[in-house]
Amino acid sequence: MKRLLGLLVSSDHKRIAKIYLFSGLAFLLLGGLLAMVMRWQWARPGAAVPLVGKLLFSESGGAVTPASYTGLFTSHGLIMVFFAMTPMLIGAFGYFLIPLLIGARNMAFPRLSVLSLWLTLLAQAMVLASICMPEAPSSGWTMYAPLSTGVASPGQGQTWMMMAIVVIGVANIVAAINFITTVLTMRAKGMSFFRMPLTVWGFFFTAILNALFVPVLVVAALLLFMDRCAGTHFFAPSLGDPVLYQHLFWLFGHPEVYILILPVWGILGDLLSYFARKPAYWYRGSVYAMAAVTCMSGMVYGHHLYQSGLGPMVGASFEALTLAISVPAVVLFANWMCTLWRGSLRFELPMLFALGTLTVFAAGGLTGLYLGAMSADIYLHDSLWVVGHFHLIMSAATLMGSFAAIYFWFPKIFGKRLNERLGQMHFAGTLVLAFTTFGGLLLAGYSGQGRRLFDPFQYQFLVHLRTINRYTSYSAFLLGGFQLIFVGNLVWSLWRGRAATDNPFQVPSLEWTTSSPPPMHNYEREPVVLRGPHELGNGPELVAAGKDWLGQSEEGT
C-alpha cells in the first residue's frame, strides 16, 4: 500500500506513464468484454450469455434485454474512446516519451502531471460506479439530447457517466497544457523543431487539439448535466435546441478521431524509418501534413450532420472540406510507402504492428470517403457501415499502433523484452481477425442493416444477414481471444522476461542513449543534439562510423 501511494504521488513522468498504461489496459479489457456480450446477442439473439449471463442479466434468465443492450453499447463506446484508448495511448506514451525524446529531465509542470493522473483515475472510478448502478447509462455514446434526459435515461448511471466525461475532459486539458509547454520550452540544446522525432510531433499536435476542442465537450456535457439535474432547458425540444448539442458534440467528436490517430501517425513515421534502416521520406512533408490535418480537423465535423437538417450549401461545403482533409493523409501514406521502398526491412514485432497499422488505416480511410459524400451518406448513414469504418480507424488502426508502441518501447519502460513467438501469434491473429470482424460490419451495413438494433432479424428484409452477423461475431470472439495472448505475454515478460539492452533495436533517437529503464533524472547529463532522428542507411558519415545508424547526440567520425 505504501508503494502504491508513493506511485500515485510521484511526479516522475515515467511512473505516471506506467499507471496510465495499466489503467488504460484494464479499461480496454472491460470495454472488450462489453463488446463480446453485444456480439453474442447478434450471433444468438435472445439466447442466454454463457458464463456471465446469469450474473449480469439475472432478471431475464441470463439473456440480453433491449434495455441492457442499449446500456452495453453506450458504456462500451464511452469506455473505449475516453477511458481506455486515451489513457493508454496519449496518457502513457505521451507522458513517458516526450521528455525522453526531446532530452528533458521531466515534464514542464510535474505537479500538473500528477493532477491529470488523479483526475483520470477519478473519472475511471466514476465510470465503474455508473455501470454498476441499477440503471446503467443508456443514451448512446454520443449522449444526444433528449435521449440523455432523465425521462429517456432514468437512474443515476447516466448522471455519473456525464460527470465522468467532464472530469476526464479536464484531465486531458491539463495534460495538453503540460505537453505543449514541455515541447516548446524543455528541448535539449540542439533539438530544433525539425530535429524532433515524428512521434513528438504527433503528440504535440494532439495536445493542441485537446486544448482547443476538449473544452467544447466539457461545456456541452455540463449543459447536459444541468438540463438533467438542475431543470434548465438548453437542449430540451420544447424550449431549447437538441441539434445544438449535436453541433457541440461533433465539433469535438471529429477532431477526437485525429486526437487519437495523430500520435499513431507519428509513431508510424518513426518506426517505419527505424526498421527500414533508412531516413523517413520527406520528413518535413510529414510534419506539414500532420499540421494541415490539425488545422482542418475542426472544419469537417458537419459530415456527421448531413441528416440533421443542414442546408444543401452548408452540406456541400462540409463535403468539400471532408474530401480535402484526405489530401494530407494521402501525403503521409505516400511518405510511409516511399520510406519502405528499397529499405533494408527488419520484420521485428514493432515493425509487424506498424505494417498492420498501415494496412487497416488504409482500409478505414477509404471506407470513410463514402461517408464524406452526401449522396452516399444518405444511404449509409446510421448503418453498420459507419460502425465498421469507425472501428477500422478508432479501434483497429489506433489499437495496432498502440501495440506497435508497446512492443517497441516496452524494453525502455520496463527493461525487459516481450516474447517474440507470442508477439508474432498476437500480430497475425489481430490483423486477420480485425479485417474479418470489421469487414463483416461493412458488408452488413452496405446491405442495409442499421446500427443500435437489439435484434435486427425481427425485420424480414434483414433475415438473410443472420449468417454474416453470426460469423462476424465468431470472428470478434477470436479477436478477443488473441488479445489474451498479449496479456499473457505482458504478465510473463514482466515477471520472467529476459533483460533488455539499452538500445536493442539500434535506433538513433535520444531515449535509447540512456539506461533501460531510465533513471529518475533520465540523463546523467543533458544531451546535445547534433542531427535529426533518422540518421540511418549508408551515408558517408555512417560508413565512416562502421554501422548503419548514428545517434542524435553521438559524435561523428
Question: pLDDT tens digit string along 420-449?
Answer: 999 999 999 999 999 999 999 999 999 999
What are the cell numbers at 287? 510534419
pLDDT of residue 239: 81
What lies within 8 Å, CB to CB, of 531 at 6+ separation is 195, 508, 550, 552
Return the residue matching grid coordinates 441492457.
68
Spatial contact of 320 and 367, defined as CB atoms under 8 Å apart: no
pLDDT of residue 557: 58
pLDDT of residue 283: 98
Q: Where are the alpha helices (DSSP H) in 277-348?
A: 283-296, 312-324, 326-340
Spatial contact of 137 and 153, defined as CB atoms under 8 Å apart: yes
Distances (CA, A) of 159 to 87, 136, 148, 230: 22, 9, 9, 12
Q: Write down the domain spans for the chain.
A: 2-545
pLDDT of residue 7: 67
Return the residue matching grid coordinates 477526437.
256
CATH superfamily for domain 2-545? Cytochrome c oxidase-like, subunit I domain (1.20.210.10)
CA distance 82 to 61: 32
Residue type, position 507, single letter = V
CA distance 542 to 244: 58
pLDDT of residue 24: 97
Return the residue matching grid coordinates 532522428.
533
Question: Per-block average pLDDT, block size 10, for the chain (557 residues)?
Answer: 69 96 97 95 91 84 92 96 97 98 97 96 97 91 92 92 97 98 97 98 98 97 94 87 94 96 98 97 98 96 91 92 95 97 96 97 94 93 95 95 98 96 97 97 95 92 94 96 97 93 94 94 93 90 83 84
pLDDT of residue 8: 73
What are the cell numbers at 105? 529531465
Residue type, position 544, single letter = A
Distances (CA, A) of 142 to 137, 162, 224, 249: 11, 11, 12, 7
Phi, psi of 416 (to 5 degrees): -125, 160
pLDDT of residue 240: 84
